A and B are shown apart, each in its own frame.
Chain A
Amino acid sequence: MGLSIRVRKNTYYDSVTLMLISKEVKKLEGVNEVLVGMGTDLNKELAQNLGLANDEINQLGPNDFFISVLSDTDDIINEIAIRVDELLNQKKDADGDEYIPPTFDSAVKFAPDSNFVIISLPGQYAYAEVKKALNNNMHVLLFSDNVKIEEEKELKELAREKGLLMMGPDCGTAIINNVPLAFANVVKKGNIGVVGASGTGTQEVTVLIDKLGAGVSQVIGTGGRDLSKDIGGIMMIEGIKALAKDPNTEVIVLISKPPAAEIAERVLSEAKQAGKPFVVNFIGGNPEVIKQYGGIPGVSLEDTARKAVALSRKETAVETEEYGEDEASLKEIAAREVKKLKKGQKYLRGIYTGGTLCDEAMKLLAGEIGGIYSNIPLEPQYKLENVFVSQQHTCVDLGDDEFTVGRAHPMIDPTMRQERLVKEADDDEVAVVLMDFVLGYGANSDPAGEMLPYILKAKEKMEAKGKAIIFVGYVCGTDKDPQGLKQQEDKLREAGVILMPSNAQAVKLTKALLKAASE
Chain B
Amino acid sequence: MSNINQLFNKELKVINMGLKSFAEDLKSQEVKVLHVDWRPPAGGNKRMAALLAKLKK
Contacts and interface: CB of A to CB of B under 8 A. Distances in A.
A112 B57 CA distance: 39
Nearest to B33: A118
Contact of A104 (B2, B21, B36): B36
A114 B4 contact: no
B19 A116 contact: no
A125 B15 contact: no
A77 interface: no
A104 B36 CA distance: 7
Contact of B38 (A102, A114, A441): A102
Given A100-B35, A164-B3, A442 B15 contact: no
B13 interface: yes
Nearest to B29: A179
Interface in A228-255: 238-239, 241-242, 245-246, 248
Contacts of A346: none
Contacts of B5: 242, 245-246
A111 B34 contact: yes
A103 B40 CA distance: 10
A117 B36 CA distance: 10
B10 interface: yes
A344 interface: no
A114 B14 contact: yes
Contact of B15 (A111, A162, A218, A239): A111
Nearest to B14: A116
B7 A121 contact: no
Contacts of B23: 118
A118 B40 contact: no
Given A116-B13, A120-B22, A129-B17, A177 B38 contact: no
Interface residues of A, number: 50
Contacts of A103: 36, 38
B20 to A, nearest CB: 9
Interface stretch (A30-38, A136-144, A466-474): A136-144
Contact of A120 (B17, B26, B37): B17
A320 to B, nearest CB: 34
B6 to A, nearest CB: 9
Given A163-B4, A242-B2, A118 B17 contact: yes
A217 to B, nearest CB: 8
A347 B28 CA distance: 43
A115 B7 contact: yes
A113 B17 contact: no
Nearest to B16: A118
B43 to A, nearest CB: 11
A122 B4 CA distance: 26
Interface string A117-159: 1111110010001000100011100011000000000000000
B29 to A, nearest CB: 7
Nearest to A177: B12
Contact of A118 (B4, B7, B18): B18
A165 B10 CA distance: 14
A108 interface: yes
Contacts of B21: 442
A182 interface: yes
Contacts of B14: 114, 116-118
Contacts of A165: 4, 7
Given A114-B34, A442-B25, A139 B7 contact: yes
B3 to A, nearest CB: 4
B34 A110 contact: yes
A176 B17 contact: no
A117 B15 contact: yes
A101 interface: yes
Nearest to A125: B40
Counting chain A CB atoms within 10 Å of each CB, the highest count among B2, B18, B23, B28 belongs to B18
Given A100-B37, A441-B25, A115 B4 contact: no
A389 interface: no
A180 B5 CA distance: 18
Nearest to B2: A163
Contacts of A369: none
A212 interface: no
A139 B16 CA distance: 12
5 contacts: A100-B37, A110-B34, A118-B22, A163-B4, A441-B29
Interface of A: 99-104, 106-108, 110-111, 113-122, 125, 129, 133, 137-139, 143-144, 162-165, 176-177, 179-182, 218, 238-239, 241-242, 245-246, 248, 441-442, 482
Given A102-B39, A139-B4, A180-B29, 9 more contacts: A100-B37, A101-B37, A102-B37, A116-B13, A116-B14, A119-B18, A125-B38, A144-B18, A182-B22
